[in-house]
Copies of this chain bind each other. A is one copy, B any other.
Amino acid sequence: MTFDLVAHDPQTKARAGVVHTAHGAIETPIFMPVGTAGTVKAVQQRDLTHDVQAQIILGNTYHLYLRPGLDVLRAAGGLHKFNGWDRPILTDSGGYQVYSLSGTRKIKEEGVKFRSHIDGSSHLFSPEGVMDIQRTIGADIIMAFDECTPWPCEYDYASRSLDMTHRWLKRCIQRFDSTEGHYGYAQTLFPIVQGSTFKDLRVKSAEFVAEQGREGNAIGGLSVGEPAEQMYEMTELVCDILPKDKPRYLMGVGTPANILENIALGVDMFDCVMPTRNARNGMLFTTQGIINITNKKWQLDFEPIDATLGGYVSTFYSRSYVRHLFQSQEMLGPQIASIHNLSFYLWLVKQAREQIVAGTFREWKEKMVKQVMTRL
């Protein structure tokens, strides 16, 4: 994997770049739709390519390991072949889901013992095991196995957890560097900066991660409940330490405003379930602001969802019709809303990139943060 920096915004720390992977290029800053179980919920692969214009999607190691399982993924020839998505894929390490979904889990130095949320069966995720699993899934970018601390978090717990995450990172790197991909193309491993909302821990972690000299780096443990200002403070601190010539991935973030603010601080890659999850509840992000499509005010609004976006669902379906679909609990409602919201997120980062290249990002960002978060 290589990374070319194309432009720097003169008034912020925002950058525009290109990540090159075995499955094609990714123009940054980029938003990555979340495809938890090998499917971006409710969205067809073709629509993801042509309408959403996604350049890379996420897969989730915890979910894919449990279902369909490694035997199926290996037999398919990896996740790309299994789900038919032939552009880049990133897999998270499964750590976050082990902590949030599994009823009982036990974190030890060796790794994490947990029970499947599906059938209660026992499993162990270790740094080495998770590298092997992600080798089998076959993502282009794979993530280190870490502990994502909850928020708020005691300093002592965060500090001890961080040390373990760092020891785990060394084990991940050792395993990753002593193995090869199964499907004939190169994979790359991103380490993850942790440290909760403690500045000294974040500095320590960013320095440790930077020292590993990997091809890209991630920031985890944010957007877990802390105030946005604390998130931005941590991101800025960490971005200033992480190498400038490597892409920076802020995990699990966030609202359109969060994304724009973090781009301004030097983040290149984002993922979040918000566009698809909120879509399923009838919340539509548009270029003019946020629409709760179930509100009665849209009942007789025959305008398209968002003509500015230009994609099929955003221009073809009226607000009145989409409201009707949600009122009638028709599946087509969440389908349309999911494609629309993802189209918006991809539009937003594409616009951001153009503004960075043009050197006009800051002013545009200040306007857009207000505009896209307005409740319509």
Interface size on A, residues (CB 8 A): 40
A320 contact from B72, B320, B321, Cβ within 8 A: B72
Count identical subunits in the complex: 2
Binary contact track A39-62/B, C-beta < 8 Å → 1, others 0: 101111110000000000000000
Q: Does A185 contact B (CB under 8 A)?
A: no
Q: Which of A91-99, A140-148, A328-336 contacts B (4 or more CB under 8 A)?
A: A328-336
Report if A43-B82 is in contact (Cβ < 8 Å); known contacts: A68-B320, A300-B75: no
How far apart are the CA atoms of A72 and B318 in the complex, in Å? 12
User: Is A42 a contact partner of B335 (Cβ separation < 8 A)?
Assistant: yes
Q: Does A317 contact B (CB under 8 A)?
A: yes
Q: Does A213 contact B (CB under 8 A)?
A: no
Which residues of the partner chain B approach A38 to less than 8 Å between Cβ atoms? 321, 324
User: Is B82 a contact partner of A320 (Cβ separation < 8 A)?
Assistant: yes
CB distance from A311 to the nearest CB of B (A): 11
Q: Does A18 contact B (CB under 8 A)?
A: no
Name which residue of chain B comes closest to A41, CB basis. B331
Which residues of the partner chain B approach A331 to less than 8 Å between Cβ atoms? 41-42, 331, 334-335
Which residues of the partner chain B approach A76 to less than 8 Å between Cβ atoms? 302, 318, 320-321
Which residues of the partner chain B approach A42 to less than 8 Å between Cβ atoms? 331-332, 335
Report if A324-B84 is in contact (Cβ < 8 Å); known contacts: A37-B330, A42-B335, A331-B334: no
User: Is A330 a contact partner of B41 (Cβ separation < 8 A)?
Assistant: yes
How far apart are the CA atoms of A45 and B339 in the complex, in Å? 14
Q: Does A284 contact B (CB under 8 A)?
A: no
How far apart are the CA atoms of A53 and B325 in the complex, in Å? 23
How far apart are the CA atoms of A82 and B322 in the complex, in Å? 10
Report if A313-B39 is in contact (Cβ < 8 Å); known contacts: A72-B300, A76-B320, A321-B84: no
How far apart are the CA atoms of A144 and B82 in the complex, in Å? 49
User: Is B327 a contact partner of A75 (Cβ separation < 8 A)?
Assistant: no
Q: Does A312 contact B (CB under 8 A)?
A: yes
User: Is B72 a contact partner of A328 (Cβ separation < 8 A)?
Assistant: no
Binary contact track A295-307/B, C-beta < 8 Å → 1, others 0: 0000110100000
How far apart are the CA atoms of A44 and B39 in the complex, in Å? 18
Binary contact track A332-362/B, C-beta < 8 Å → 1, others 0: 1011100000000000000000000000000
Report if A316-B68 is in contact (Cβ < 8 Å); known contacts: A321-B83, A321-B84, A324-B37: no
Which residues of the partner chain B approach A325 to less than 8 Å between Cβ atoms? 39
Which residues of the partner chain B approach A20 to less than 8 Å between Cβ atoms? none
Q: Does A67 contact B (CB under 8 A)?
A: yes
Which residues of the partner chain B approach A320 to less than 8 Å between Cβ atoms? 68, 72, 76, 82
How far apart are the CA atoms of A43 and B72 in the complex, in Å? 28
User: Is A39 a contact partner of B330 (Cβ separation < 8 A)?
Assistant: yes
User: Is A67 a contact partner of B37 (Cβ separation < 8 A)?
Assistant: no
A332 contact from B43, B302, B327, B336, Cβ within 8 A: B43
CB distance from A81 to the nearest CB of B (A): 8
How far apart are the CA atoms of A330 and B331 in the complex, in Å? 12
User: Is B300 a contact partner of A84 (Cβ separation < 8 A)?
Assistant: no
Name which residue of chain B comes closest to A81, CB basis. B302
Some 14 contacts from A to B, beta carbons below 8 A apart, are A39-B328, A41-B331, A42-B335, A44-B336, A67-B324, A67-B327, A68-B320, A68-B327, A72-B299, A72-B300, A72-B324, A76-B302, A84-B316, A84-B317
Inter-chain pairs besides A43-B332, A44-B335, A72-B324, 9 sampled, C-beta below 8 Å: A39-B325, A41-B331, A44-B336, A68-B299, A68-B327, A72-B299, A76-B320, A82-B320, A335-B335
Among all A-B residue pairs, the 6 with the closest Cβ atoms:
A68-B324, A42-B331, A39-B332, A37-B328, A39-B330, A75-B300
